[in-house]
Amino acid sequence: MIRATALLATLTALPLHAQELVVYTYDSFTSDWGPGPLVEAAFEEQCDCELTFVGTGDGAAMVARLQLEGAGTDADVVLGLDTNLIQAARDTGLFASAPDDLAAPTLPIEWQDDTFVPFDWSYFAFVYETYALDTVPTSFEELAASDISIVIQDPRSSTPGLGLLMWIDALYGDEAGQIWADLADNIVTVTPGWSEAYGLFLEGEAEMVLSYTTSPAYHLIAEEDDGKSSAIFDAGHYLQVEVAAALAASDQPELAAEFLRFIASDAVQSVLPTTQWMYPAYETELPAGYETMNIPGVALLQAPDVAAARRDAALALWQDALSQ
Amino acid sequence: MKLTGWSGVVIGALILLGCGAAIAALIGVSGGDLTLSAGDLAAIRFTLTQAALSAVGSVLVAVPLARALARRRFWGRNLLVTAMGAPFLLPVLVAVLGLLAIWGRNGVLSTALTAIGAERLNIYGMTGVVMAHLFFNIPLVTRLLLQGWATIPAEHFRLGAQLGFGARARFRLIELPMLRAVLPGAGLLVFLLCITSFAIALTLGGGPKATTVELAIYQAIRFDFDLPRAGLLALIQTGLCLGVATIAMLTGRAGEARAGMIRPVAMMGGAGRWLDFTVIACTTVFLAGPVVAVIVRGVPALIDLPSSVIEAAIRSILVAISSALLSVSAGLMIAIGLVRIGLARPVLARLGEGAMLIVLAISPFVLATGWFILLRGHVDPFAIALPMVVLINALMALPFALRAFVPAVALAQRTDGRLADMLGLTGLARLRHVMLPHVRGPAAFAAGLTAALSMGDLGVIALFGSTTTATLPLVMYQLMGAYRMEAAAGAALLLLILSFGMFAVIDRLGKTHDPV
């Protein structure tokens, strides 16, 4: 028991700093192979402060944590909310306006938000191995009519899963139930998160996986494998835009604003394509290989308040159709 | 001794209070309407069904397996018994990928089937969920049953043989009484473990019809931030489990183990020999397949793992050892307390043990979130992240420790208790001379299990974690999230090696001549 207490004591020791910016983000951002370490080193050099990333699981966990902590949160900035979470985040009333001298982001849609600053984005898409499919579907109808096996994520536990839900909702509205019912026999399984789904896909459990149009870039650039591609649907692709925002209760408001400007700068934006495997949100040169990525003709995104309002109904349609 | 008994009761009560407080904190955070939808009811039904099937299935396979292992001696038997710990120690996601490498649509069996022109296997759905739970829990139940068999004195078998017992009489008169004492608890343990199944049910369930209550809780906490709803679901889940636990603990009966004086003798040849070895061979193949798949996938990436993986591994080991020490100390004290109560009020003691097992059925998400709410404003959440992980892991492993300790402590009390009373042995002296010889094996088993379980835990750390607290499973998960599946497979293998190594070493430390 004494030894256990001693071990506990050593585990609790954490350093403290005076001039410190605390940024909540999701885990994969802060990992060695994510952009976190590069961003931290570059920002600390310019700000003469201590930048602390706190990985909080995923984007949804981050909002949950902010709601738990309320205005007493230690966070100065949150980084990595997705468009579907913006409304819930806004409703907490914890956020401050973004600095007004930021450049306009280069997204395929119009972006107007005075609080949430986009930093990267991509299109949701079904990714496949080029050798495995003879005909690639160009719509949800074609996919549903085919016998192609797919693996998707659960919209109740995963942001890409929620993205697919809103994608089909944006295209089909109240008729979405029919599409889901038709897709049911294509769906091998529904996983709790992106990692499980992508892992199953790479193990050959399904021919297609819900991921991003930029996913093949990882295989092309990091693995020199050009055998993955994304299916482009004529009706359009839903966007995932990841955003950052400063907290109103921050004890470092200037530092937080400086950080938001910093993530819109080339220093951060240029590392995103090969760490996040997403498009940068501001004018930046893309690494070689990205020019081969498929680009959908139509970009879809529902406004945060619309998406939030439609979510429960869309979820009910999904659940009914797939529970048959 | 009296003091030790009471401290166990106090600790047990505190734990139950802590769990109750976590649920109450969620519900109490705001009012809100607390109603159940049709979907919630379907989720409750599915959760109970899959858990019951998994528990019954595990027991049905584990009884013949444990019986065969208890009766036979063969080359590599001890190694096999130790290695059977491996499936239980795999992180869920790794085990699922291992299972799919064998049973999946693109697995070994499907590939073989398509080669002869047959259909691919499709295990997604209830089949897959139960199969994965069997994979995890058969080894666990088998280990618990082996301990049960070890409590049958060899004299009983010898006497039975002299009296000319056939196989049926031997089973009914010697083995069945032991099974009646051990099986309800072991089955209940599996049932409760499967109740909080989250990733398995979701990944292998094939869709939303395979929704567990745990997912609904997760969704309520993470996506809807509907804490009262999460609390209500947790309350219902706990209530149902409490009901099942009460029934299970009351149908069982206290063990009547007596210590034998002679060494157990293995059966050589004789009736049922081939059946025994067939059972051993089949379950070994079933359990080993996915583990071999994990090893094969991980080996190529094992040599050049990123440095952060090593750091996380060291942190995980510290967490694991702390949890194990905490869990074993608390488990032993509670077991002594329960046995003490059992002397006067046997039913109350069994209900108390059942209540402690319920801890398993409380979602770690609920515990973590509830305690977070309670501690908010009093302590720095970053500072308590790792201690919280240690505490919750120790708590989650406590039921295993109890399952291992209670029979051993009861045996110690029954065999040497009266002598110790007469000699006036109390406190530490009694612990050292009366308890220790009996609980050494179970303590090592429980410590090894807790350590290994904490190594593989993801749930708690994912809620509380931050960069400075990443553990090995979390890093493995991050690698997967960053497309690096090969590196993740390497990290998974490292995790398996460390968990299993820790389990095997600690388990060995407790080995005496007993055949468990």
Question: What local confidence, expressed as pLDDT, does residue B153 receive?
Answer: 78
Same domain, B308 and B428: yes
CATH number of residue B142's parent domain: 1.10.3720.10
Same domain, B7 and B85: no
User: Which residue of A8, A205, A324 is in closest CB contact with B106?
Assistant: A205
Q: Does the pLDDT value for residue B224 go beyond 80?
A: no
> Do the domain assignments include residue B500?
yes
> Do the domain assignments include residue B108?
no
Higher pLDDT, B486 or A138: A138
- Return residues 485-504 of B near A (CB < 8 Å): 485, 488
What ipTM was estimated for this complex? 0.80
- B112 CB burial (10 A radius; 0-12, 13-18, 19+): exposed
CB contact under 8 A, A61 and B386: no
Same domain, B69 and B139: yes
User: Which residue of B101, B204, B376 is in closest CB contact with A189?
Assistant: B204
Same domain, B16 and B144: no
The answer, for B30 touching chain A at a CB cutoff of 8 Å, is no
B32: pLDDT confidence band, cut at 50, 70 and 90?
low
Condensed to tens digits (0 to 9), the pLDDT of residues A267-324 reads 899 999 999 999 999 989 999 999 999 999 999 999 988 988 998 899 889 988 887 6
Average pLDDT over residues A147-156: 91
- Return residues 66-125 of A near B (CB < 8 Å): 67-69, 72, 74, 88
Same domain, B356 and B446: yes
Which residues of chain B have a CB within 8 Å of the CB of A10?
A: 318
CB contact under 8 A, B482 and A28: yes
Average pLDDT over residues B6-33: 77
Average pLDDT over residues B221-231: 78
DSSP annotation string for B243-300:
HHHHHHHHHS--------SS---PPPS-TTHHHHHHHHHHHHHHHHHHHHHHHHHHHH
Condensed to tens digits (0 to 9), the pLDDT of residues B315-349 reads 888 888 888 889 888 888 888 888 888 777 777 87
pTM to 2 decimals?
0.84
Q: Provide the token pair at B298.
A: 């991980």
The answer, for B32 touching chain A at a CB cutoff of 8 Å, is no
Task: For residue B405, give Cα distances in angstroms to B259, B330, B336, B398, B435.
Answer: 16, 11, 8, 10, 10
- Arithmetic mean of pLDDT over chain B: 80
B256: pLDDT confidence band, cut at 50, 70 and 90?
low
> Do the domain assignments include residue B153?
yes
The whole domain housing B401 covers 1-28+304-516
> Do the domain assignments include residue B292?
no
Count how many domains chain B has: 2
Q: How far apart are CA B363 and CA B220, in angstroms?
A: 12
Same domain, B269 and B339: no
Which residues of chain A have a CB within 8 Å of the CB of B124?
A: 188-189
Condensed to tens digits (0 to 9), the pLDDT of residues A109-126 reads 988 888 999 999 999 999
Condensed to tens digits (0 to 9), the pLDDT of residues B403-420 reads 778 777 777 777 777 787
Q: What's CA A260's distance to the chain center, in Å?
A: 18
Residue of A nearest to B461 (CA): A57
* Residue in B360, B352, B325 with CA at minimum distance from that of residue B446: B325
> Do the domain assignments include residue B376?
yes
Average pLDDT over residues B245-260: 66
Q: Does the pLDDT value for residue B514 go beyond 60?
A: no
Condensed to tens digits (0 to 9), the pLDDT of residues B426-476 reads 777 777 777 777 777 778 878 888 887 777 766 555 555 555 567 788 788
- Return residues 371-400 of B near A (CB < 8 Å): 372-373, 376-377, 380-384, 386-387, 390
Q: Are B513 and B263 in contact (CB under 8 A)?
A: yes
| Start-end of H helices in chain A | 2-12, 27-30, 36-47, 59-69, 83-91, 140-145, 159-172, 176-183, 194-202, 215-223, 253-263, 266-269, 272-275, 304-323
Which residues of chain B have a CB within 8 Å of the CB of A319?
A: 39, 208
Q: Which of A221-230, B28-37, B448-457 has the highest mean pLDDT?
A: A221-230
Average pLDDT over residues B290-304: 87
> Do the domain assignments include residue B244?
yes
Average pLDDT over residues A141-150: 94
B2: pLDDT confidence band, cut at 50, 70 and 90?
very low
Which residues of chain B have a CB within 8 Å of the CB of A3?
A: 325
Q: Does the pLDDT value for residue A11 go beyond 50?
A: no
Least confident of A1-10, A216-225, B14-23, B302-311: A1-10
A253 Cα to chain B: minimum distance (Å): 21
Same domain, B139 and B234: yes
Average pLDDT over residues B267-273: 65
Question: What local confidence, expressed as pLDDT, does residue B200 receive?
Answer: 82
Residue of B nearest to A202 (CA): B485
Same domain, B415 and B340: yes
A246: pLDDT confidence band, cut at 50, 70 and 90?
very high
Condensed to tens digits (0 to 9), the pLDDT of residues B182-198 reads 888 888 888 888 887 77
Same domain, B52 and B23: no
Question: What local confidence, expressed as pLDDT, does residue B466 receive?
Answer: 55
Same domain, B24 and B56: no
A103: pLDDT confidence band, cut at 50, 70 and 90?
confident
Same domain, B316 and B454: yes
Residue A194 CB neighbours (<10 A): 24
Least confident of A284-288, B285-289, B395-399: B395-399
Q: How far apart are CA A264 and CA A104, in angstroms?
A: 10
Same domain, B436 and B484: yes
Which residues of chain B have a CB within 8 Å of the CB of A277?
A: 483
Best mutation site among A189, A218, A219, A228 for testing chain B: the one with the most B CBs within 10 Å?
A189
Higher pLDDT, B464 or A135: A135
> Do the domain assignments include residue B424?
yes
Q: How far apart are CA A49 and CA A244, in angstroms?
A: 19
User: Which residue of B203, B307, B377 is in closest CB contact with A72?
Assistant: B377
Question: What local confidence, expressed as pLDDT, does residue A5 receive?
Answer: 43
Condensed to tens digits (0 to 9), the pLDDT of residues A45-66 reads 888 888 988 877 777 778 888 8
Q: Does the pLDDT value for residue B58 go beyond 90?
A: yes
> Do the domain assignments include residue B310?
yes
A221: pLDDT confidence band, cut at 50, 70 and 90?
very high
Percent of chain A with pLDDT over 90: 50
Task: For residue B455, give Cα distances in angstroms to A14, A170, B450.
Answer: 22, 43, 8
Question: What local confidence, expressed as pLDDT, does residue A238 receive?
Answer: 95
Q: Does the pLDDT value for residue B513 go beyond 50?
A: no
B267: pLDDT confidence band, cut at 50, 70 and 90?
low
- Return residues 290-319 of B near A (CB < 8 Å): 306-308, 318-319
B483: pLDDT confidence band, cut at 50, 70 and 90?
confident
The answer, for A141 touching chain B at a CB cutoff of 8 Å, is no
Question: What local confidence, expressed as pLDDT, does residue B312 receive?
Answer: 84
